[in-house]
Amino acid sequence: MFNELIARDRQVNWHPYSQMKTTTHIPILSGKGSYLFDAEGNRYIDAVSSWWVTLHGHAHPYIADKVYEQLQCLEQVIFAGFTHQPAITLSERLLELLPANQTKVFYSDNGSTAVEVALKMCIQFAHQSGKKKNKILAFKDGYHGDTFGAMSVSERGVWTAPFQDLLFEVIFIDTPNSSNLEELYTLIDQHASELACFIYEPLVQGAGGMLMHTVDALSQLMRHCRNRGVILIQDEVFVGFGRTGTLFAADQLSEQPDVMCFSKGLTGGTMPLGVTTCREEIYQAFYADEKMKAFFHGHSFTASPIACAASLASLDLLLQVETLEAIQRIVGQHTAFAEKVRTVPIIEEVRQCGTILAMDWRVGGTSYFNNMQEQLYKKFLAERILMRPLGNTVYIVPPYCISEEDLNDVYDAILKIAEQ
């Protein structure tokens, strides 16, 4: 069956970020907790939470039950002119957990759309406030999604090259550290009057290679933007829901963002849903008697009741003492292993932020297309561990249900492969 599924898949499916000619896609039949089972009966530890989405493990029975209940009650209703309990309750619960200045929730379908919504919100906000602001500030090496707006504010590279001429103008700056802040302030001051917003991944730049910056430096940069009237869009699509060791990266920063984006772990990784939240002042600029001041954006499945139900179930699980303790246990295990792996000659730049642990394999350059990526990926698969290195960067982003033993097995595989 294994080979038959691969052959049928190859006939009809086109996979993401895959050179179809040279990649085989392993057929997975089922998942349970932190394990995935393929069509040959092999068991893999999912050390990357299936592209950073799975929070509580695969096929979680509690989320499955809640989704099934919702499916039998109301599976979908148009969210323009109508509303429903799952969306109301989810917004109430999210706002309670987010920085106090976040007061409204706008739903969409995924991380990229949550970013598109945030960008459009800020640009229309400037427009309706009578200001001409059409430039956007972003970090180098950032990643905010694959739709055109999200691509525009992300690092430009080989994969955006075909679209380069169609991407809008963005001012890219370095991530902040203790020695470059003044330089960044000067750059921001030069452009402040035309900046509609600043979009950034807080603390960890995921797809850019798990690059990390400090709480202090980011907080100071945010404060400077705030003082210059630059709206802050905090993209927590990856880091939200416990990844950094706190519920949100925002919990560690001393400045609050104006707009926030969420997806990935929002539904516990069971299905797509995107959320963009904002400050009351932004919402109020759209709140008027004139119809034309409304925010003209929406998707067919905006605020899907099923996805909202999955998110509510995921929040229930996330806020359980056992889960919060598991997160801290993972953080502690990572810290101890980081110490150990720093002594391995072939490994460098070991870095950790909460449950995210990353390290680089010593080679020239960090290109995604580096052979290293493919070799490492295959070596981990042979150890029955799903890792998906970014170039020569190997990282662990585990589901919170991973056992101490399974996480140790992942560490052992890293050491074994490093010594080969």
Ligand X SMILES: *Cc1c(COP(=O)(O)O)cnc(C)c1O
Residue set of the binding site for substrate: 51, 143, 264, 298, 388
Counting contacts by CB under 6 A, is residue 198 touching ligand X?
no
Segment interacting with ligand X (CB under 6 A) among 56-64, 65-73, 230-238, 377-385: 230-238
Nearer to ligand X, 235 or 406 (CB): 235
**Amino acid found at 174:** D
Stretch that binds ligand X, among 55-63, 82-90, 104-112, 369-377 (CB under 6 A): 104-112
Q: Does 262 bind ligand X (CB under 6 A)?
A: no
Structure tokens at 292: 């034309």
Q: Does 206 bind ligand X (CB under 6 A)?
A: yes
For residues 199 and 140, what is the distance between their CA atoms, to the nearest angstrom? 11
Which spans in 74-173 are helix H? Answer: 85-97, 111-128, 148-152
| Among 39, 56, 129, residue whose Cα is nearest residue 326 | 56
Q: Does 234 bind ligand X (CB under 6 A)?
A: no
- At its nearest, how many Å lie between ligand X and the CB of residue 204? 9
Binder among 116, 155, 201, 406 for ligand X (CB under 6 A): 201
* For ligand X, the closer CB: 207 or 247: 207
Find the part of the chain contacting ligand X (CB under 6 A) among 235-243, 244-252, 331-339, 405-413: 235-243
Task: Say how far apart CA 355 and CA 135 lie, in whole Å.
Answer: 34
Angle CA(364)–CA(370)–CA(374) in degrees, nearest 5?
130
Tokens of 93: 């619960």
Contact 56, 398 (CB under 8 A): no
**Active site includes 143?**
yes
> Which residue sits closest to ligand X, CB atoms considered?
111
What is the smallest separation between the CB atom of 180 and ligand X, expressed in angstroms?
A: 22
Q: Which two tokens stand for residue 140?
A: 């180098």
CB 57 within 8 A of CB 64: no
* Cβ-based nearer residue to ligand X, 143 or 337: 143
Is residue 145 close enough to count as binding ligand X by CB under 6 A?
yes
The token duo for 205 is 């730049």
Contacts of 169 (CB under 8 A, 6+ apart): 134, 135, 136
Span near ligand X by CB under 6 A; candidates 23-31, 128-136, 199-207, 241-249: 199-207
Structure tokens at 71: 């499916």
Using rule CB under 6 A, residue 55 touches ligand X: no
Is 207 a binding residue for ligand X by CB under 6 A? The answer is: yes
Binding residue for ligand X, selected from 49, 91, 112, 277, defined by CB under 6 A: 112
The helix/strand/coil state of 94 is helix
Site membership for ligand X, residue 46 (CB under 6 A): no
Work out whether 143 is an interface residue with ligand X (CB under 6 A). Answer: yes
Catalytic one among 35, 143, 400, 411? 143
Give the DSSP letter of residue 33.
B
Instruction: Indicate if 235 belongs to the active site.
Output: yes
Q: Is 133 a catalytic residue?
A: no
| Shortest separation between residue 263's beta carbon and ligand X, angstroms | 5
**Using CA atoms, how far apart are residues 95 and 277, in angstroms rounded to an integer?**
8
Nearer to ligand X, 244 or 263 (CB): 263
Q: Six-digit token pair at 56?
A: 């509580």
Instruction: For residue 353, state whether it binds ligand X (rule: CB under 6 A).
Output: no
- b or e along 193-205 (b: 16 or more beta carbons within 10 Å of the residue's beta carbon)? eebbbbbbbbbbb
State which of residues 66, 144, 224, 388 lies at the interface with ligand X (CB under 6 A): 144
For residue 131, indicate whether it is catalytic: no
Q: Which residues contact 105 (CB under 8 A, 6 or more apart)?
A: 90, 91, 94, 95, 275, 276, 277
Place of tokens 């932190």: 34
Of 38-46, 233-241, 286-294, 364-372, the segment contacting ligand X by CB under 6 A is 233-241
Q: How many residues bind ligand X (CB under 6 A)?
A: 14
110 sits near ligand X (criterion: CB under 6 A): yes
Place of tokens 């960067």: 393
Kindly state whether residue 111 participates in binding ligand X, applying the rule CB under 6 A: yes
| Residues belonging to the active site | 17, 143, 235, 264
Catalog residues that contact ligand X under the rule CB under 6 A.
Answer: 110-112, 115, 143-145, 201, 206-207, 235, 237-238, 263
